[in-house]
Amino acid sequence: MASLMSVMEQGRRLMGMDSALEPRVKTYQKMLCCVTAFLVILLLPYIHIGIFHLKLWVPDKPAVDKEHCKCDCFDTVYKGSYENPGNVKYKHMYFNTTQQTFKIWLLTLGFILAFLRSRLRWTMFAVFISDVFPHYYSWWMSFNYYNDDYYEQFYHQLFFSTTELTATVFVVKLCNSSIDVTSAKVVPIVSISCVHLFVGGLDQFLFQKLRNLGFLLPDFIHVIIPTFELYRRSSSHPFSMYQYVVLTLLICIGVFIGNFILV
């Protein structure tokens, strides 16, 4: 029996099926599943409405005149003081502030939360919670820019939105206590948060202090807590000299882009 197992093992090695490759196969399969799931979620609404409804069900519907279209049943509450009820200009999406709208939001949130499972690291979860307002604001601004066809500040906002999402990806990973806190995961969080502190603090803090305080405090938290978690688990310095150099370069590049290019 032992000789048979030895022959089978040699055959696996000759055929390139070494057991050392199994983790790579598992990682590849995991990535494939993630990409497939993302594409399904991304394409399903387009297939449902953009193809089945628009192309097959109602292909003869006339185009909307966006220049002269008006909506007189939009309550404009979510627009605040920018617009009042009446003949409001064209929006890509209208929604009124009603109980039904809130229930639709709760239903959507419920479906999202149903898929969130993790062994929680509470310190990093606190970092994630601190990012709720910046993400909420970024999403809301991006929504309004697209909905109103107002793109003057879009790319500046896009810079903050994409960098926030990048940092949050690493924060969410570290919320799982089974994943080690490493410098490779902390450097992106700290560098992006420092960029936000420099760019946001210099650019906007003097004008809307209360709103921007809600941005700057989370960035401070993103710098302090992940660095503390890394320091607590390190036998020496949390960052190597090479990582300090990378951290400095990332901050300088981010500040340059945010202050001098996307203005």
Token pair 């070494």 in the structure block, residue? 18
Q: For 125-172, write each residue's pLDDT tens digit.
A: 888 888 888 887 888 777 777 777 776 777 777 888 888 888 988 998
The pair phi, psi for residue 70, each rounded to 5°, is -130, 150
pLDDT score, position 11: 52
Amino acid at 186: V
DSSP assignment letter at 71: E
d(CA 42, CA 87): 33
pLDDT score, position 189: 92
Token pair 């509470």 in the structure block, residue? 122
Average pLDDT over residues 16-36: 62
d(CA 178, CA 193): 24
Among 51, 52, 90, 47, residue whose Cα is nearest residue 72: 90
pLDDT at 55 over 60: yes
End-to-end CA distance of the chain: 72
pLDDT at 14 over 50: no
**Of all residues in the chain, what percent carry a pLDDT higher than 70?**
79
d(CA 245, CA 183): 13
pLDDT at 205 over 60: no
Q: For 216-240, write each residue's pLDDT tens digit.
A: 888 889 999 998 888 887 766 667 7
Q: What H or E segment, with its residue span, contains residue 89? A: strand 88-89
pLDDT score, position 236: 64
User: Contact 229/174 with Cβ under 8 angstroms?
Assistant: yes
Which band of pLDDT confidence, cut at 50, 70 and 90, is reported for residue 107? confident
- The mean-pLDDT minimum among 56-70, 103-117, 173-187, 203-217 falls in 203-217
Please indicate, yes or no, whether the overall pTM of this predicted structure exceeds 0.95. Answer: no
d(CA 180, CA 177): 7
> Mean pLDDT over all residues of the chain?
78
Which band of pLDDT confidence, cut at 50, 70 and 90, is reported for residue 117? low
Average pLDDT over residues 191-213: 70
d(CA 5, CA 191): 52
pLDDT score, position 216: 81
Per-range mean pLDDT, top range of 71-75, 117-121, 254-258:
71-75
d(CA 180, CA 173): 9
3-class state of residue 41 by DSSP: helix
DSSP assignment letter at 205: T
pLDDT at 24 over 80: no
Average pLDDT over residues 84-93: 88
Alpha helix segments (H runs only) across the chain: 2-14, 22-45, 99-113, 122-130, 132-147, 154-175, 183-203, 209-233, 241-256
pLDDT at 75 over 70: yes
User: Contact 195/258 with Cβ under 8 angstroms?
Assistant: yes
Amino acid at 171: V
Average pLDDT over residues 198-214: 62
Among 175, 88, 160, residue whose Cα is nearest residue 128: 175
More confident residue, 64 or 238: 64
- The mean-pLDDT minimum among 88-92, 197-201, 221-225 falls in 197-201
d(CA 96, CA 104): 12
